[in-house]
Amino acid sequence: MQFARHLNDFKPSYIRTILQAATEPGVISLAGGLPSEENFPLELLQQASASVLSDPQALQYGITEGEPNLREWIVNSMSTETVSTETLDLRRDQVLISSGSQQAMDLLVRSLIDPGDGVVMEAPSYLGALQVFHLARANVVSVEQTDSGPDLNQLEAIFSQRRPKLFYTVTDFHNPTGCCWSLQTRQNVLQLAQRYGVTILEDAPYRNIRFSGKQLPSLFELAPEQVCYLGSFSKTVTPGLRLGYLCASPDIIEMVARVKQAADLHSSTLCQRLLLPVLKSRQYQNHLNTLKCDYRERRDVLAGALNHYLNGKVSFSLPEGGMFIWARLLNVNTTVLAENALKKKVAIVPGSVFYEGDTSEGSEYIRLNFTHGAPAMLEQAVERLSDVISNI
């Protein structure tokens, strides 16, 4: 078959490939961004399912923008969760439900980007976003990340010289680095975006998984007219429901809804109707608190194991939330390490895959997920890794 020419260099995601290998018996995977199944709110979903399935409308075609009551819930929760003193005046016509936030990203990019349009991303960056921008044939420009967010001098130079249309970012618990932007960086980036007319795409799947530290306002909350916001229920409820959402101005939502009609008409009515009672349940906040406590404990186990087994060889900052530790291993080629580790039945992701193009950048880093493996498994994985490193 002759495939579309622009797909000639469209590679499958490294992580999807390694996840396949990670399903082999005995492999401990620290590779994917998987939540722990032990924390899925099964009881709440089971309770919801009986009443949801007694209404045949739950299995009917639905509205492209999503179930009105779920959109209303998102409006309320986004408005009440604001951190800044500004009030967020969000309306239902500014919310669209998607099949995972990944789909909203794809639909939004298809709605805004023509081939060759400039898109800025942080380096390193979320692989799924790199794929979306490649598929849209955007001209991707990278800005380096510092501990408090993107390098502002570089960003201004890119904005002023390259005049990009979009800046894609993960401001809270970045994937892969776990970085959270400082308040100053948030304000400065918004000023730059306003000055140079760049729309910001804020991807926030980990925002509600904070274990410690202070929640800072989202970019969307600070400047809703400049920012499109992606939220997800994958990390807080379950990824299998495949539900996420986009918040943006009504004209953007209207165009994205047109594109969504062509893509899949609407997201699953059944899944949306199952999700809503879970979110509205009195136990939902308990569920979130339990999940965060558990993830914090797993993070501490992984961090402790890294310090114990790789003492003097590894450095990392402890993330205050999210799902990953981004660890630096001095003088280790982590692509080789990842290959050898898989032979010893540990799956990890080498840092270089999170960078644009074929590059040695990130080659001393690995991304380690701490939310899927049980604590004892996390410890065992690091012990195995330290053996592999000793033998490289």
Question: At 228, is the secondary structure helix, strand, or coil?
Answer: strand
| 54 CB-contact burial (10 Å; exposed 0-12 / middle 13-18 / buried 19+) | exposed
| By CB under 6 A, residue 236 contacts ligand PLP | no
Say how many residues make up the chain.
392
Kindly indicate which of the ranges 53-61, 217-225, 231-239, 258-266 contains the residues binding ligand PLP, using the contact rule CB under 6 A. 231-239
Interface pattern 144-173 for ligand PLP (x via CB under 6 A):
--------------------------x---
> Which residue, among 206, 235, 203, has the nearest Cα to 220 in the 3D structure?
203
Q: Which residue is nearest to ligand PLP (CB)?
A: 100
Closer residue to ligand PLP, CB minimum distance, 126 or 316: 126
Query: Nearest approach, Cβ of 21 to ligand PLP (angstroms)?
Result: 18
- Here the tokens at position 218 are 């989202």
Tokens 């739950």 sit on residue: 58
Kindly indicate which of the ranges 21-29, 98-106, 290-298, 301-309 contains the residues binding ligand PLP, using the contact rule CB under 6 A. 98-106
Among residues 244, 350, 362, 373, the one that binds ligand PLP under rule CB under 6 A: 244
| By CB under 6 A, residue 188 contacts ligand PLP | no
Tokens 């080498």 sit on residue: 350
Query: Nearest approach, Cβ of 340 to ligand PLP (angstroms)?
Result: 25
- Residue 66 amino acid letter: G
Which residues face 142 on adjacent strands? 121
| By CB under 6 A, residue 175 contacts ligand PLP | yes
Kindly indicate which of the ranges 45-53, 66-74, 96-104, 153-161 contains the residues binding ligand PLP, using the contact rule CB under 6 A. 96-104
Instruction: Quote the CA–CA distance of 256 and 243 in Å, as a whole number.
Output: 16
Residues 13-42 that bind ligand PLP (CB under 6 A): 33
Interface pattern 54-73 for ligand PLP (x via CB under 6 A):
--------------------
Q: Where are the beta strands (DSSP E) in the chain?
A: 28-29, 95-98, 118-123, 139-146, 149-150, 166-169, 199-203, 227-232, 244-247, 314-315, 324-329, 346-347, 349-350, 365-369
Closer residue to ligand PLP, CB minimum distance, 309 or 365: 365
DSSP string, 102-140: HHHHHHHHHHH--TT-EEEEEES--HHHHHHHHHTT-EE
Residues whose CB falls within 8 Å of the CB of residue 351, separated by 6 or more in sequence, listed in order:
124, 176, 326, 334, 361, 362, 363, 364, 365, 366, 367
Closer residue to ligand PLP, CB minimum distance, 232 or 268: 232
Among residues 39, 94, 102, 188, the one that binds ligand PLP under rule CB under 6 A: 102
Among residues 152, 190, 239, 383, the one that binds ligand PLP under rule CB under 6 A: 239
Closer residue to ligand PLP, CB minimum distance, 169 or 334: 169
User: Which residue ranges make up the site for ligand PLP (CB under 6 A)?
Assistant: 33, 100-102, 126, 128, 170, 175, 203, 205, 232, 234, 239, 244
